[in-house]
Structures are given as structure tokens and as C-alpha cells.
Structure 1
Amino acid sequence: MQALPRSTTSTQTVVVVPPSLALPVIESAFPRQLHPYWPRLQEKTRLWLLENRLMPPAKVREYADGLCYTDLMAGYYTSAPDEVLQAIADYSAWFFVWDDRHDRDIVHGRAGDWRRLRHRLHAALDAPRHHQHHPDPLVAGFADSVLRLYGFLSPAWNQRFARHFHAVIEAYDREFRNRTEGYIPGVEEYLALRRLTFAHWIWTDLLEPSAGCELPDAVRKNPAYRRAALLSQEFAAWYNDLCSLPKEIAGDEVHNLGISLITHRGMTLEEAVDDVRRRVEECIGDFIGAEQDALRFAREIDDGTVRGKELSTAVQTCVGHMRNWFSSVYWFHHESGRYMVDSWDDRSTPPYVTNEAAGEK
């Protein structure tokens, strides 16, 4: 299927979506949005990667723009203040680099390096100001991005973000052990782990600074709001699994919903692909209903007070961003060089990563 997304370049480009991965409902019912700050965002995140030595200069020049990391965030938090979007985009770029380091540490058996990095990230999350000049660029870059994110809302929000990301780090450690041992999680175990490794609650937390309003627990934990937030993240994680399944089977991966279905439910590859696709499509349909419930809830909390109006507007903005996540994730998977495995010289080694052991020994 050919589709014409909103281009992030000066010319319109046609993106070819394989029929097995095409979702007509996304292309028709989820119009793509893009933050007007995007061109500057791309430029500044590229510079941030260089200044923080998170990718070698030659890799940044050749691959950074084509990886579309800034496109993904600019298509998600479309109403965020420029400064907030920049901090989120830099943090997101860091997250992808960290994910690549994690993968390379597994591939090359660098258990000691991973263990040290894990402990340092936990420490940097709790005291980012003390880790901005750490000799490992990944730790220093993380501290810098987290410190900026901590400057937008209250200490309570910062503590919540830290709590959620401590859990993400530990989930990555479980993935490290699973892959090292060749352990394939069961379906339910995998789904729970995936919510952490995909950082569902981190991206949901970041809806609040994007809307310029910290939401009280009674709003964040309202079933209507929480369900819409979860569905938007589940779609992203499962669609990623659908797109990655052939590559990850070829690479002897153990973390993919399709792989768990094949291993623990006895499905064929074709049946597993159909099952994951069905879940993805149901997620979209369920979100459309949940979105209306969440918007109804937003209207209900506008009680005529200044605070009620503020919260109502913020929830509507957050729900709008949840909707954006569907189209942003969808097109990202078909535009980013991160998923163009067939163009790599070595299908087992992404060309934008280095294989050398990184960080301080």
C-alpha cells in the first residue's frame, strides 16, 4: 500500500507500507500531525547527540536525521512548548541509544558493562545534577536530559517519573538475563514486561509537561483517562512487535509477542502474525471508544472554577496527544532507518551503532 503522510522534508515523499503492515484506519481516521518546531528540533537534537558524544560524529551525520527520532516525538506531543518538546526529544534520542547499547552488550556478552551501567543509571535518575559530567557519555547524557525534564513540574511529578523509570531499568535487566539465557517469556509475562520496556508510563507521564499541567491522582488514575492512555501505548508496543517479528525471529530474539505466541501457544508464524495484527486492530477500535469516554470525563471536571477549567483543558490536550501517538508510531516504523533491515550490510548489526565496548570499565 502506498500512502502520503505529512512530509517532514521540503518535498512530499511517498511511503510504501507493506500490505501485511498497512492499517487503513490509521491512514484515514488518524490524520498525522507535526509540531511546527520540528525542523529546529531535529537540528538541535542532532547537535545534542554530538555534544554529548552519544553517537560518533560520522554516524550522526549519516544516520541521525534518517532515524527519525525527532519526527516520532514531534508527531506525538504536538502542543508542547518548544522547550518541553526539545527536552523530550533529546531524552527520546538518548533512550534509543541506550536501547542499542543494551542490545550490543547482550550480543557481545558484556554482562559486567551492563551491570555497571544499570547501577549508574539508577544513581543518575535520583541525582542527575551529580552525574552530568560522568565519563560514560550515556550516563552523562541521561543525567542532562532528566535534569531538564525535572525542571517543568513539581518534585512530586519528578519522583513519579523516577519511580517509573527505575522500573524500566530493572525491566531492561530482566530482558538482559532472558536473552542471555535464551528464555522466552509466556504471553502474559511478556505483556507485563513489555509495558515496562516500552516505558508506557514514562511517555504517559510526559503528556503532562506537554500540556503544561500536572494532573492530580484523581484525574490520572480515573479509569477513562487511564484506559485511553494504556491503549495508545499498547498499540505502539504491539505494532512494533508486528513490524519487528521477522527480523527478531531471524536474530534469535526472545522478546516479541509473536515469539511468545509461537512458543507457548503453539501457533505457526502465520497464526502468530494474524493474532498480533488482530490485537493491534482491536486496540485501535477500543481506543476510539475510550477516547470518547476520556473526553467526556474532561468535560465533567470543568466545574466552572478556574482549576476545573485548567484540568479539563489539560486532559483534552493529553487525550489529543494520545491520539497522535497512533499515527506517529505508524509512520515512524515505515520511515525510520531503524527498521530498514534489508538495506543493512549486516542484518545483525545496525549501521548506526558501534560494536566496541562502550563506557567506563
Structure 2
Amino acid sequence: MGPELTVPPIYSPLRSAIHPRHVAIEAHTGEWAEEFSIGSPELRSQLVKSDIGTFAARIFPEGREEVITIAADFMLWIFGVDDGYCEEGEIGTRPGELLGALSRLIRIAQNPEVPMLADDPLALGLRDLRYRMDRYGTPVQVTRWVEAIGDYFQAVVWESFHRSQGTVPGLNDYTMMRMYDGATPIILPMLEMAYGYELQPNERDHTSVRAIAEMAHFIIGWDNDILSHHKEHRTGGYYLNAVRVLAQEYGIGHGQALVTAIAYRDRVMDLFLRMAEFLKATGSPQLRQYIDSLGDFIRGAQEWEITSVRYTTPDDPADLPSTFRDTPTDNSPEPLDIPAISWWWDLVPNLQDDTASRGTAYGSSVSVPSFLHPMAQRTA
């Protein structure tokens, strides 16, 4: 078990925003959790008190309320799976049984009409979510949502294996899998749905656009690791996060590992901002909205985590920051020595030449490379 750690303000020069209907969204999610009996009564009470609806309202500050409520209900559902099945449930240390249970759930997401799990609360909740997704999403968006749930399930089974063995994975494997076991990719189709558009494949599947989405997954996942360390380590049981992985990888104490984790996520945040400015200068209006939504997702997660009782744990208060800083602790233009993600740095042109000229605020005017990027060659 690691030591108590004081988390300093983290680098986040992103806008703070929340949907004007956040109170109603929060109330709806609490009612939905009760209607479908998500988790045990104790777990459900904890989840309802965690302001998950408010989190969703921060991700989509100008989005359609109907889609935001789907996202909020889904995030509560995911926590019901993660807390109830994976981390605290009996099958959380039995990867084979966990895979079987999750495979049955993914079948519900794929085909909600199948005559399976008729009395299972998680299955009933997932059916409801899928039918609502069909109402507001395109077939492509719904398919991506279902596939992302499958990727998340695969990642939590991987984590379950390490939990069953009491082992800590290496940094490269952890970095790769953390982008999936946090369930952040499942929200991406909803970023489009909430604003009523669908990214065209030539943009959505472009290497640079996939990379900036992965950067967002990384930042959100590592921020959660940093801000949830107190919640996780105080239980005395097995836990897996970036601080623990870095401590093992480099043979350092948890305090230095925290400093390193913050530096690594700062370097990725710096790259995310650079990539965002570049893509917004060369992409469609829909891509610009999508990238803005990724920024809202990152900032929304940060603000939720420093205020939600899920992480502040008022009965045993965590030493979390109440503010953010607008400068990074590490803005080196060099790639992180993590093979799974080091290629991100190859995608932003003139990275080193432009470092000094860039502003620190997201959305500020920056010098965009003048050469023709492949995305600019697309057919109008």
C-alpha cells in the first residue's frame, strides 16, 4: 500500500463550462439508477451521491439534453459494472468468469432483443441505454459505441488477471490498456450525437484525429489515477494506477512517482493543445467541434474528480487541489519513452521550432505550419 500523497494543482488551460440544465440531468440520473436498480443498494447510493450527472453536463455544456442524460446514465452504469463486478465483486479476481459475464452483457448491447438476462439489472439498464442510443445516434455511431464497450470489457479482464495474480504490469502495457479500461472511448460517439453531427470517415479515421482522441484518453485516465490515488490505496487492497506502475517501473518512491506521473501527463497535455490547434486550422467545422468537445471532456473530468465525494472521500479526506495551474511542469517537445504512444509526437510538424511561440491558453492564436497537411487535401 502506497503512502498518503498531496496532489498539487494540475495543468489545465482548458475552458470550464457546464450545461444550464445540469441540476435536472443530475436528478434524472439518480432516478434512472433507482428505476433499474443498478448495483447493490449501498453501491447505488454511493454512485448517486457522486454527481455523475453533473460530470456529463460538463462534458457537453451546449449539447442536447437527451443525449447528455444517456451519457450520464451510461457512466453511472459503467461505474456499476466497474465497482460491482470488476473491483469489488467476487468475480473481479476470476478473469474467466468475468469474461463470461461481460460477454453476455456485450451481447445485450449488440442485440438488445435477445432473450437473455431478463431479470439482470445491469442488462436491463444496458437495454434501455441501447434503445435510447438508437433514437438519437446514427447506425455508425451506435456501432462504434457498442464496439467501444467491447474494448472496455477486454481491458478490464486484462486488469482482472493482474488483480488475480497481485502483479503490476509494465509501463508500456499499462499506458496502452489504460486508454481503454477507463471507458473514455465509449463517450466519443456521444460527443457527435450531442451536437447533431457525424464525423466523416476521412476525418474521424485519420491518424492524427485518432491520435488526439488517444491523447484525451491518456490525460483523462492519468488524471484519474493521480486524483483517485487516495481513494484507491486507502482500502488496503489491490489497486492499479499510473503512480504505482511508475514506482515499479523506475524503482522510485510513490512521491517521486506522483511527480513523474504529473510531468508525463503535462507533456501529453501540451501535445494535445498543439495538435488541437493544428487540426482545427485544417479540419471541417464538425472536426473543430469534436476537438473542442475533447477539451470539454478532459476539463469536465478534472473538475468532477476534485469535487465529487467519490474522490474527495469526506470521511477520510483526500489532499486534492481545488484549483488548476495554467503552465505545465514539463513541456518538453521530446516524445515520452513509451513505445505505445511515442509516435504521437511525429504527427505535429515543426514541434521544436514552434515551442516558444505558442500561447498557454487552449484556443489561443498560434502559428500553424504553412505547408499543406494531408487533411487539407480532402475533397470538399
TM-score normalised by L of structure 2: 0.74
Q: Tell me whether 1:171 sits opposite 2:155 in the alignment.
A: yes
* Distance in 2 of aligned mates of 1:293 and 1:228: 11
Residues 65, 243 of structure 1: alpha-carbon distance in 2 compared, 3 angstrom cutoff: same
SS of equivalent residue, structure 1 residue 255: coil
Question: Given the superposition, is the C-alpha separation of residues 155 and 230 from structure 1 closer, same or farther in structure 2, using an over 3 Å criterion?
Answer: same
- Show the counterpart of 2:7: 20
Which residue matches 2:305? Answer: 333
1:221-250 deviations in Å (ceiling 9; x for gaps): 224433332222211100111123344445
Give the match for residue 248 of structure 2.
263
Question: Separation in 1 of the partners of 2:297 and 2:247?
Answer: 28
Q: Choose which of 36, 55, 72 in structure 2 pairs with 1:52.
A: 36
In the other structure, the counterpart of 2:296 is 324
How far apart are the structure 2 equivalents of 1:220 and 1:331? 27
Give the residue type in structure 2 aligned to 1:97.
G
Asked if 1:68 corresponds to 2:77, the answer is no
Deviation digits for residues 38-89 of structure 1 (CA, Å, limit 9, x no counterpart): 11111111111111011566775x6455301111111012232111111111
Of 244, 262, 268, 2:228 maps to 244
Map 1:1-361 to 2 at 5 A: 20-23=7-10, 25-26=11-12, 29-55=13-39, 63-101=46-84, 102-106=86-90, 114-130=98-114, 134-250=118-234, 251-298=236-283, 312-341=284-313, 343=315
Change (3 A) 1:221 1:252: same
On the 8 A contact 1:35/1:74 being kept in 2, the answer is yes
Structure 2 runs not aligned, ≥5 long: 318-380
Q: How far 1:185 sits from its partner (Å)? A: 0.7
Distance 1:131 1:73, change over 3 A: farther
Q: Report how far residue 129 of structure 1 moved.
A: 3.2
Whole-Å separation in 2 of the counterparts to 1:246 and 1:334 = 12
CA distance in 2, matches of 1:252, 1:199: 22
CA distance in 2 between counterparts of 1:290 and 1:112 reads 40
Displaced runs of 4+ in structure 1, greater than 4 A? 55-60, 62-65, 106-113
Whether the aligned pair in 2 keeps the contact of 1:228 and 1:294 (CA below 8 Å) is: no
CA deviation after TM superposition for structure 1 residue 95, in Å: 0.8
Distance 1:187 1:111 in 2: 21
Point out where structure 1 has 5 or more consecutive residues left out of the alignment.
1-17, 299-311, 346-361
Which amino acid in structure 1 is aligned with residue 157 of structure 2?
D
For residue 134 of structure 1, report the CA deviation from its aligned partner.
2.1
- Note the alpha carbon deviations across 1:87-110, whole angstroms, 9 max, x for none: 111111111111111211258867
Aligned partner letter, 2:305: H
Q: 1:106 to 1:174 in 2, by over 3 A?
A: farther
**Equivalence for 1:8:** none
Bigger Cα displacement from structure 2, 99-108 vs 180-189:
99-108
Is the contact made by 2:33 and 2:48 (CA closer than 8 Å) also made in structure 1?
no
Q: Supply the distance in 2 between the matched residues of 1:110 and 1:181 (Cα, whole angstroms).
A: 10
Identical pairs, percent = 20
Q: Which residue of 1 aligns with 2:331?
A: none
Letter paired with 2:152: V
| Partner Cα separation in structure 2 for residue 58 and residue 200 of structure 1 | 25
Alpha-carbon distance between aligned partners in 2 of 1:270 and 1:176, rounded to the nearest angstrom:
26
Q: Residues of 2 paired with 1:287 and 1:327: CA distance?
A: 13
Distance in 2 between residues matched to 1:326 and 1:166, nearest whole Å: 22
Q: Counterpart amino acid of 1:42? A: E
Describe the superposition over 1:198-221 as per-residue Cα deviations: whole angstroms up to 9, x where unpaired: 123222222121221121221112
Aligned residues: 311
Contact 1:91 1:146 in 2 (8 A): no
Please report how far the alpha carbon of residue 124 of structure 1 lies from its aligned counterpart in structure 2 after TM superposition.
Answer: 0.8
1:168-205 per-position Cα deviation (integer Å, ceiling 9, x unaligned): 11211111121011121100011111111012322222
- Does the CA-based 8 Å contact 2:222-2:242 persist in structure 1? yes
